[in-house]
Amino acid sequence: MPRVTKKGWGIFKKVFVTTLLVVSIFVVSTPATAQGPNPINGSLPPNSKLPDANDLLYQKKLNQVRRNQIQAADTLMEVLYVGTMGQFREPEDSDYVNYCGPSSTQIALRARTTDIPELDEIAKCEQINPRWGVYMTSVTDCLNQYLDSDYYWTDIAESKDELASWLKTDVDQGYALVTGVFTTYMRGWNGYSISHIITLYGYDYSNQVFSNKMVYYTDTASKLAGYSGPYFNIVTLDDLWNFVSWNNVQSW
């Protein structure tokens, strides 16, 4: 076996550390549309499958989008009522800092009904892990369960235009859309970067000439979770897509 000198060992360590750093940067900087084995709040569980476009029930949902593009093409602004200011905000309690999934579910339910389950009940339904949160598939399952419907599906928007179309279809029919985001550049997070879940409840696409369509969303995070922004928010579609594209999974 060849003898390794002290100088050679030092060079090896430098190369190893540099390689590890590059790999780490790549992992952190890669959008979260393709989920790995580590759980990510608002993501897909391992080995999950997206809806098949040939599935008859999912075709029904896609047909709703196509019909809406024709029938409601002239409707350029719609905002749902999803409760009062701060009504479903996470409690200022360390046990609830990753409950954005259940609280966002409450908001989506409020768009349809006044019979809203307690936060802990929804968290149980969504099989929350308090250390990191919930999968988006669980949000979808519980929304359908509480609404006794098959309306919601879990899928990944391929572009901001597709996301805008999904949102318009949902809101025009009285449903909110729940989506994963990454908070780095979101208002009120002050550069704090975590995977997160928000609810989209309205749109204003009237100013299309300058490509600054607007989207309404709620952020239920508590101050204890690192959030200092407002409960109700409105941002451009471009900005929303920047938030979404790093944790891109929707319940719609």
Region 234-244: mean pLDDT is 96
pTM for this prediction: 0.84
Q: Position of tokens 């896609």?
A: 62
Look at residue 210 in the predicted model and tell me its pLDDT.
Answer: 55
pLDDT tens track for 143-156: 999 999 999 999 99
Task: Please tell me which residue, 209 or 12, carries the higher pLDDT value.
Answer: 209
Q: DSSP letters of 53-89?
A: TT-HHHHHHHHHHHHHHHHTTT--EEE----STTTTP
Q: Which of 7-16, 81-90, 153-162, 168-177 has the lowest mean pLDDT?
A: 7-16
Q: Position of tokens 């006794």?
A: 148
pLDDT tens track for 201-221: 999 999 865 568 999 999 999
Burial (Cβ within 10 Å: 0-12, 13-18, ≥19) of residue 103: buried
Using CA atoms, how far apart are residues 86 and 57, in angstroms rounded to an integer? 35
Burial (Cβ within 10 Å: 0-12, 13-18, ≥19) of residue 85: exposed
pLDDT tens track for 119-138: 999 999 999 999 999 999 99
Q: Are 97 and 225 in contact (CB under 8 A)?
A: yes
Q: What is the DSSP letter of 94?
A: G
Using CA atoms, how far apart are residues 190 and 74, in angstroms rounded to an integer? 37
Task: Enter the CATH code of domain 56-251.
Answer: 3.90.70.10
Q: What is the DSSP letter of 45?
A: P
Q: Which of 17-21, 40-44, 78-82 has the lowest mean pLDDT?
A: 17-21
pLDDT tens track for 24-36: 323 333 333 334 4
Region 9-21: mean pLDDT is 37
Look at residue 54 in the predicted model and tell me its pLDDT.
Answer: 87
pLDDT tens track for 181-202: 999 999 999 989 999 999 999 9
pLDDT tens track for 75-85: 999 999 999 99
